[in-house]
Amino acid sequence: MFDRLREDIAAIRERDPAARSAWEVVTCYPGLHAIVLHRFANACWRAQWRWLGRFVSQMARFLTGIEIHPGATLGRRVFIDHGMGVVIGETAEIGDDCTIYQGVTLGGTSLARGAKRHPTLERGVIVGAGAKVLGGFTVGAEAKIGSNAVVVKPVPAGGTAVGNPARIVMPAVVSKPAKDEAKREGFCAYGITPNADDPVSLAIHGLIDHASTQTQRVDEIVAALERLGARVEAMHSIDGAALVDLKRLCSSMDGKVTAEQEAR
Ligand SMILES: CC(C)(COP(=O)(O)OP(=O)(O)OC[C@H]1O[C@@H](n2cnc3c(N)ncnc32)[C@H](O)[C@@H]1OP(=O)(O)O)[C@@H](O)C(=O)NCCC(=O)NCCS
């Protein structure tokens, strides 16, 4: 239990630049209080003490402004920042390392009792302030939901959904190096990837990508030529001998090598 609490506190300190100490997190973060109380409510729910689970959940809502149904499943290191107005439905599932801001609803659109009515958030999803994610679909790992988005369809892993109704804006717009950079630097606070929209940074990353693709292609061509018997080292300094070598190779590939050609 204390291990879970310790990692919750560490996750909050990592993801909220405003968190200055563990003591501040323990005493001033309603998201943490709601999650700790939810663990108790969820244990009651699973033990079939349904009323007690609901009651604890309502007490937590009264104290924190965050309503988590006791039947909802929460992973590890989930962080609900600010939290006021968050509603998480009964069949919602939230993966490890997800971050949810104030005013988020993980809600349902169907009244079918016992059915999966609420969304599943896979690992590392960030849900912006005021977003509504409605329905029993999945939001893929590391996806981002923009603030105030209304999401009614699945979001692919790594995608970003914005607007009402939400559209996927940029699964590929953030270049891979920028994403990797963000990963190295840690959590992208508020879902914003550092330098992702800086045109100079994007251009440089584009050039690096291009250069590395070209290098890879050249390596593949060299490997193929070497397999066919060419002295590729010599070709670097395009001298006469190397050219002859290359010509011979091309001719042999065409199956047209003749003694005459060699003499020439
Ligand atoms: C969605 C989000 C994660 C995208 O951030 P990003 O990776 O930096 O993307 P950009 O800002 O470059 O935006 C990409 C496009 O989406 C649009 N967009 C971004 N956020 C949007 C939102 N919430 N609603 C509607 N459109 C949005 C931008 O206008 C832009 O559109 P364009 O390409 O037509 O110009 C971010 O804007 C967001 O909403 N984060 C949540 C922050 C939050 O809730 N903070 C609460 C702190 S208390």
Model confidence band, residue 210 (pLDDT cutoffs 50, 70, 90): confident
Nearest CA owner, ligand 1 atom 7: 192
Whole-number Å distance between alpha carbons of 88 and 100: 10
In tens, the pLDDT along 22-55 reads 999 999 999 999 999 999 999 999 999 999 999 9
Q: Which of 128, 45, 197 is nearest to 37 (CA)?
A: 45
Is residue 81 scored above 80 in pLDDT? yes
Domain boundaries defined on the chain: 2-191, 199-263
Residue 182 has a pLDDT of: 55
User: Mean pLDDT throughout 79-100?
Assistant: 97
The architecture (CATH level 2) of 2-191 comes to 3 Solenoid (2.160)
Is residue 237 scored above 70 in pLDDT? no
Neighbour count for residue 240 (Cβ, 10 Å): 7
**Residues near 38 by beta carbon (within 8 Å), at least 6 away in sequence:** 57, 60, 68, 70, 72, 74
**Which ligand 1 atom is nearest residue 82's CA?**
48
CA of 152 to the centre of ligand 1 (A): 18
Is residue 183 scored above 70 in pLDDT? no
Residue type at 83?
A: G
Mutate to test the pocket of ligand 1, among 147, 173, 174 (most ligand atoms within 8 A of CB): 147
* Highest-confidence segment of 140-144, 179-183, 207-211: 140-144
**Predicted TM-score of the model (pTM):** 0.70
